[in-house]
């Protein structure tokens, strides 16, 4: 009687091979899911960036419509003091979802007014996807363009 009890207790446990098989299967499933996770993460970043740029553009457009001019140029990550009441400073001064900072540019020579993204880790492929959400999908033309090492959402050419 004692031997049958010991045998049934031994069978109730998992063997090392069974546990390792389960771990390998879970690992393979995780590896297969990584590309989908990365794509979803990049899509979420692109959507957030495009929406942030639209909100900021609306605030600067409202200021320009009410005052007949754009606010002066400021350093990257700094909200023009004139924008108080038009723009939440905490949204403009945080790091972007693609790294780097937002930068209000006024009268920089290439365009009259725009919101630049400086120091980001966004590559051209991802920037083109953002451009497709905002504009024409071409980083050389339209409202969203590559300007040297930066990307800019142009409000007034």
Q: Which pLDDT tens digit goes with each residue over 105-123?
A: 998 778 999 999 999 999 9
- The pLDDT value given to residue 10: 57
Q: Which two tokens mark 45?
A: 């970043």
pLDDT confidence bin for 2, thresholds 50/70/90: low
Structure-derived torsion over alpha carbons of residues 100, 75, 92, 53, reported in degrees to the nearest 10 = -70
Mean residue pLDDT across the chain: 91
Q: Residue 124: what pLDDT?
A: 94
State the alpha helices, DSSP H only, in the chain.
Answer: 2-11, 16-67, 89-93, 124-134
Provide the whole-model pTM.
0.80
Which residue, among 112, 116, 115, 119, has the nearest Cα to 157 in the 3D structure? 112
Question: Contact, 146 vs 110, CB < 8 A?
Answer: no
**Residue 150, C-beta contacts closer than 8 angstroms, at least 6 positions apart:** 103, 116, 117, 118, 119, 120
Q: Give yes or no for a contact between 115 and 153, defined as CB atoms under 8 angstroms apart.
A: yes
User: Residue 48: what are its φ and ψ, rounded to 5°?
Assistant: -65, -45
Angle subtended at Cα 41 by Cα 150 and Cα 116, rounded to the nearest 5 degrees? 15
């Amino acid at each position: 009687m004692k031997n049958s009890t010991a045998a049934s207790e031994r069978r109730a446990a998992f063997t090392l091979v069974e546990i390792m098989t389960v771990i390998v299967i879970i690992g393979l499933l995780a590896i297969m899911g990584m590309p989908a996770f990365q794509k979803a993460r990049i899509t979420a970043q692109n959507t957030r960036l495009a929406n942030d740029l639209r909100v900021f553009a609306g605030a600067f457009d409202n200021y320009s419509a009410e005052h007949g001019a754009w606010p002066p140029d400021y350093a990257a990550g700094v909200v023009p003091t004139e924008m108080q009441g038009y723009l939440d400073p905490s949204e403009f001064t945080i790091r972007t979802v693609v790294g780097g900072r937002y930068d209000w540019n006024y009268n920089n020579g290439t365009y009259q007014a725009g919101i630049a993204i400086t120091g980001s880790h966004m590559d051209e492929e991802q920037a083109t996807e953002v451009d497709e959400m905002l504009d024409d999908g071409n980083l050389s033309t339209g409202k969203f363009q590559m300007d040297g090492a930066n990307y800019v959402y142009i409000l007034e050419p």
